[in-house]
Structure 1
Amino acid sequence: MTDSADSPSFRLAYVPGVTPAKWVRIWAERLPDTPLTLLQVTPAEATDVLREGAADAALVRLPVDRTVFSAIPLYTETTVVVVPKDHVITAAEEITLEDLADEVVLHPLDDVLGWEKPPGEAAFERPATTEDAIELVAANIGVLVVPQSVARLHHRRDLTYRTVVDAPRSDIALSWPEDATTDLVEDFIGIVRGRTVNSTRGRAQQAPAAAERKGERERGKPQSGGAARKSPARGAQKSGGTKSGGTKSGGAKGGGRRGTGGGKPRRRS
């Protein structure tokens, strides 16, 4: 009986707002015998699960500690402000931070934009979570500035959002412990980077092996056919090129001497 603990698997953590469905589908097509387990975590928990080995890789929001983790930036999100549908801000398609100067801008404790103080007026206290802040927006207590994917995640019929063109933005990246770049991590890197299944930039351990096999084939070619192909050329230079038609003993110099000796008329005395 096979121990399921010995079966290979890949554990991928991801933060709210990130949708890994496309990459998970490609993984299932390419590695059907290796299950991929998803683990949703808060932005604060993302690097902790990697350190503890609870996940092999994670889709995180930058920054991460680059002395410990490797990271491949994937995309940058648009920042939006979430407001009630009847809010005056909805009259414009895009706004600036200056347009929020007179608004109460909520700043949840799990904020992912990284600013010390958002624009506008501060609320009486900071909401514990983004979800709590959304509830306050719905109660007309303030507005909330978040990445667009987070606004979509917490969608409500009575709320909408508008792009804030000059607000800080959030970068999404694939990250994993630098000292734990496994074959399965390499496989997932290839998927998120859009490599095809036949890409030559596959697993790190497969590339040297393929190169070595190619080198063996290349080394074998000159031994079997290279010398035989060169021999006729050398023979042609010795037998045909020099003796019969070459410039050293051929007709150009010989013909010239015959013309000089036999074609010039004798002078009569």
Structure 2
Amino acid sequence: PENADARSILFLGFSAEEWGLLGSRYYAANPIAPIEDHVFMFNMDMIGRVTDNALMLGGRTTAEGLDAWTQPFLDEADFDLRPLPRGVFGRSDHASFFKKGVPCLFFFSGFHDEYHAPGDVSTLINRVGAVRVATLCEKMALAMATEPERPVFVNDDGTGRKTDQPPAAKPEARRTNVRFGVQPGYTTDGKGVLVENVFPGTTAAEVGLQAGDIMTSWNGTAIGSIEAWMPLLGSAKPGDTVTVTYLRDGEEHEGTGTLKASGK
């Protein structure tokens, strides 16, 4: 309301993120109040596997002065901060708000061996770590709710552009028909797609990829990020042959494999 001491805080849980951010995209297009009145978005996605005190945080460049504003909270929380690539690259629900010109922060504890597998059970959650991340997010959200001035949006998605306008709309994500078989990371800062894990019996294993490799080319097309790779993967069909160029310990390698259908 007008003249209130603090801004309202809206708690949302989105569905169908893996299918192309369907839930968050719908909300961003059909909000309960004008999207221009949404001052900030805090996104906690996969925060339950904090390992070695590490936390990834994206979005600190999405508003003027946000990097400095977050620093006291981060100092107090005392995580080993491992930033995502500059700007907002994650395929997660904050992206729907970023595209509407809403500054955002993305809290993420990283991928793990059980990602998207039946073995990802609740007993593996680092509950203490998750509570620490949630507490950090809570303190930031309460502080943002009482900031006298609203943050000024900056369109910094890692491409070097910096404007106060939302990014141009991109084609909607679509579900892939094939499974390649890697667990990707978000930490190569435009140099390629980091491979955090390779699942046995998959095309990625056939190609010869190993954890720690960085994929740089897909059938001759450079891939500097997950966002650059996903449309190529999405257009592939089962039975297609793919040649992948990758870096291992700084040396370039190449491997070829046949793509399999999703679920195989």
Please say whether Structure 1 and Structure 2 have the same fold, judged by a TM-score greater than 0.5. Answer: no
When the two structures are superposed, what TM-score results if normalisation uses the length of structure 1?
A: 0.26
TM-score (norm 2): 0.26
Whichever structure has more helix as a proportion of its residues is 1
Q: Which has the larger radius of gyration?
A: 1
